[in-house]
Structure 1
């Protein structure tokens, strides 16, 4: 067992705080990447005693680097290895998990989606709701030769966007990343494969739900005011349009459900602090893989019956310092779906 370097009051809790996963989940992650990490070990992967690093120690080093966001020198000192070893180990782990854990982040099949919809209705009263969408900035530093207005966002940071759709357990069902943080949220959505699938009728295309006499609704997800109001993406009523109790009631239910996306990103960036610190001159081709692997680890914790560690979640908003964007695009069919839902919720 990899020893936790903190002094825990409870060894299991200390292990989980240090690596963000319980020991059983740690063992499962090792099983996923073992073949890759054993089959091609670089000659430099040795510790100060001259021994080849075990798979468990390689995974421990990589998880600690991702979890703490500390420098490679600092992480290396904790494990008795050098900076270059931490760099090699972390990247090999990322490549392996990206390939071996794909099944932990995929759009649900119809049976699983029915369970998700039932949970959203039971928790928030929203029938036929398939998830909540949100997005966040991953801040980075770019060399002067690579600076570009595209990557400079509204707060004058260089950043990369991450958009995610989550279910009732804050599990990521779909993500898109790799796009410059200088884009608008609505533009990011329209660049995603998810948007193209929905517009083509190949996603969120499940059965129509009859609510009551004269009222029915299609499948949809919910998002904040930065997103366009579409037939399959329902946003809240604007504050200047809250003259009726129907709109106010709908917004309250909508906000409760939408907060799942906000909380998921606060948990993700708090658990895997490498995403919440300024990435020093990252390779823009590698950064999406780092982001994806952190999302995979987030889902692996949930899928293994492990618990997301509440104490490490960000205490503030996951995009602290960023002003809320507002999208004025309103699709008439989206308006109809939203009004149908608002009427239904008022009747309940």
Structure 2
């Protein structure tokens, strides 16, 4: 497609300042423009044969490159549009005399997050420079952090009740509000920043993140920014959800015999509001049944992280010298995009989710902390499952 002809500039006479209320006027913002779709056809034509697995059907190809459907893409554009056009013209990215549309800016940012490719490669795919990719992506992240935060929040009691009912109906565990898990975001660091604090148990430099998910793999809570050298149990104790649950401000719904709780693996402590599996040999039939049900629920969190890292490969690939102050924002926005897809009824291609564990190569951690009240709650859950199993047999 030939580039559009540049319009001729028309000289205008300067206005008489005596007729103005001020000698200086505010710069006019760009006029609202209709949604831009030209960028997509140009991008698709340029990149349709860049990989062996690219779908031939247009809508599926769109999802291949940007992970989201066109409908979800339009919604994301609506969230950030005001921020991406509200700056003075001098602050907008200019390519060959044309301002990048909001749609193209969002596409560049999503492609950078989805592919995890270098900024140079992403820029080449769109016909823009590396610095443009960097600026556009960060502006998008800043806007999403502010405009889309309502997609990741602790749910209202009615929604919590739906999760509890869904998990009990599927797995038999009563009063369960979700599952918790953690993963490492691996990165390289300059020699001056390569301290032992960031070196984890597998000798990688990494940043930890922890999530709580509901029955639909939606993130309800997320914490990150802590060095990967921490243990999972220590990360938990630095998180806001730990403080809220310990103080009785969260997971405090009524049910006398079994309180509201989360499901976590053996890396977590056994607490009144956090159930972990039974360990050791010689487990009773009831304990084994509990472990089977427990694992099924915990798999929801494991799969959510595998989908997150599979969809937004920037979190799965080794990040090259990231700004550790900005990396938590990138992680958060990827979590927001994950939730937006669920909230919009969107879906991932089956081959996008990681085929192996989200923390492949990391040995399982074991926490030996056992709270006596937590032990009693777990025994009640175990007994409940035993009775339920007997009634259904």
Whether these two folds match at TM > 0.5 is yes
Aligned in 2, Cα 1:254/1:146: closer, same or farther, shift over 3 Å? same
| Greater gyration radius | 2
Q: 2:261 aligns with which of 220, 236, 249?
A: 220
Q: 2:272 aligns with which of 231, 239, 242?
A: 231
Structure 2 distance, partners of 1:340, 1:42, is 64
- Match status 1:191 vs 2:232: no
1:275 is aligned to 315
Indicate if the aligned counterparts of 2:114 and 2:311 stay in contact, CA closer than 8 A. Answer: yes
1:140 is aligned to 187
Residue ranges of structure 1 left out of the alignment (5+ in a row): 210-215
CA deviation map 1:182-216 (0-9, x unaligned)? 0000000000011000000000011116xxxxxx2
2:332 is aligned to 292
1:307 is aligned to 347
1:125 is aligned to 172
CA deviation map 1:204-248 (0-9, x unaligned)? 011116xxxxxx2010000000000000000000032x4210100
Q: 1:43 Cα shift?
A: 4.3
Structure 2 distance, partners of 1:168, 1:76, is 38
Structure 2 distance, partners of 1:54, 1:44, is 10
SS of the equivalent of 1:343 reads helix
- Match status 1:46 vs 2:94: yes
* Residues 1-348 of structure 1: pairs in structure 2 closer than 5 A: 1=37, 2-3=40-41, 4=44, 5-6=47-48, 8-40=55-87, 43=91, 45-47=93-95, 49-208=96-255, 216-240=257-281, 242-348=282-388
SS of the equivalent of 2:78 reads helix
Indicate if the aligned counterparts of 2:55 and 2:64 stay in contact, CA closer than 8 A. Answer: no
Residue ranges of structure 2 left out of the alignment (5+ in a row): 1-36, 49-53, 389-393
SS of the equivalent of 2:322 reads coil
Indicate if the aligned counterparts of 1:302 and 1:308 stay in contact, CA closer than 8 A. Answer: no
Structure 2 distance, partners of 1:338, 1:13, is 45
Q: 1:10 Cα shift?
A: 1.3
Structure 2 distance, partners of 1:269, 1:68, is 10
1:213 is aligned to none
Structure 2 distance, partners of 1:43, 1:206, is 50
C-alpha RMSD of the superposition: 1.1
Structure 2 distance, partners of 1:147, 1:85, is 29
Structure 1 distance, partners of 2:381, 2:283, is 17
> After TM superposition, where is structure 1 displaced by more than 3 Å over at least 4 residues in a row?
41-44
Q: 1:44 Cα shift?
A: 6.2
Indicate if the aligned counterparts of 2:72 and 2:341 stay in contact, CA closer than 8 A. Answer: yes
Structure 1 distance, partners of 2:280, 2:100, is 57
Q: How does the TM-score come out when normalised to structure 1?
A: 0.96
SS of the equivalent of 1:162 reads strand
Report how many aligned residue pairs link the two structures.
340
Indicate if the aligned counterparts of 1:271 and 1:312 stay in contact, CA closer than 8 A. Answer: yes
Structure 2 distance, partners of 1:45, 1:77, is 16
Structure 1 distance, partners of 2:262, 2:339, is 19
Structure 1 distance, partners of 2:245, 2:92, is 47
